[in-house]
Amino acid sequence: MIILIIDEVQTGMGRTGSLFAFEHYGIEPDIITLAKGLASGFPISAMMGKKELREAFSSGSHGSTFGVGPLAVTAGLATLETLLEGCLMEHVTKLGVYALQRLTDQLQHYPSVQNIRGLGLLIGIECREPIAPIIQELLQQGLLVLTAGTHVIRLAPSLLITKEEIDQAVDLIEVVLKKY
């Protein structure tokens, strides 16, 4: 038996426009790991698995840095309700497409940019050179960005981001990239 485990710590909870990123690919994992977005930033983690795997994890056999407590569970339930009710997934998908288009239109012609890719509001700008100085400058300018390795600027904004905020971010990234 081969067990498929999917780590949705960064990609889950609506980040890609669906509750879990694996849903975009038509696969069915046996185990899913979650954290970060599960309680909107409140420390929590979870591992979900198929019923037939329950016996593999007896009580106390699996620990967690961010095990649950009443406050974390309440935050997690509120997050799930927010994600599953209303049109937040549609918003994430729509704004993700908008952000990718804006980034591509404004940045693809810069020699330092090799590729722009993303799914929902998880976006990467792959550069030809190491990005450490670019990241530092963006942070100094007030734009919170991450890395995905040494050559990719990772954007993972709030799921509630607006078009105006995307425009501001793209304009700032362009100003910084002009220097590289």
What confidence tens digit (pLDDT) does each residue in 30-55 have? 999 999 899 998 899 888 999 998 88
Superfamily of domain covering 88-177: Aspartate Aminotransferase, domain 1 (3.90.1150.10)
Angle made by CA atoms 132, 138, 143, in degrees to the nearest 5? 130
Reference 57, options 5, 22, 99, 100; nearest CA is 5
Q: Which residue has the tokens 């999917």?
A: 6
- Is 80 exceeded by the pLDDT of residue 66? no
Q: What is the pLDDT of residue 54?
A: 83
Give the whole-angstrom CA distance, residue 180 versus residue 110: 9
Q: What is the pLDDT of residue 95?
A: 98
Exposed / middle / buried, residue 61 (Cβ in 10 Å: 0-12, 13-18, 19+): exposed
pLDDT in tens, 86-99: 899 999 999 999 99
User: Is the model's pTM score more than 0.75?
Assistant: yes
More confident residue, 170 or 67: 170
Where do the CATH 3.90.1150.10 domains begin and end in the chain? 88-177
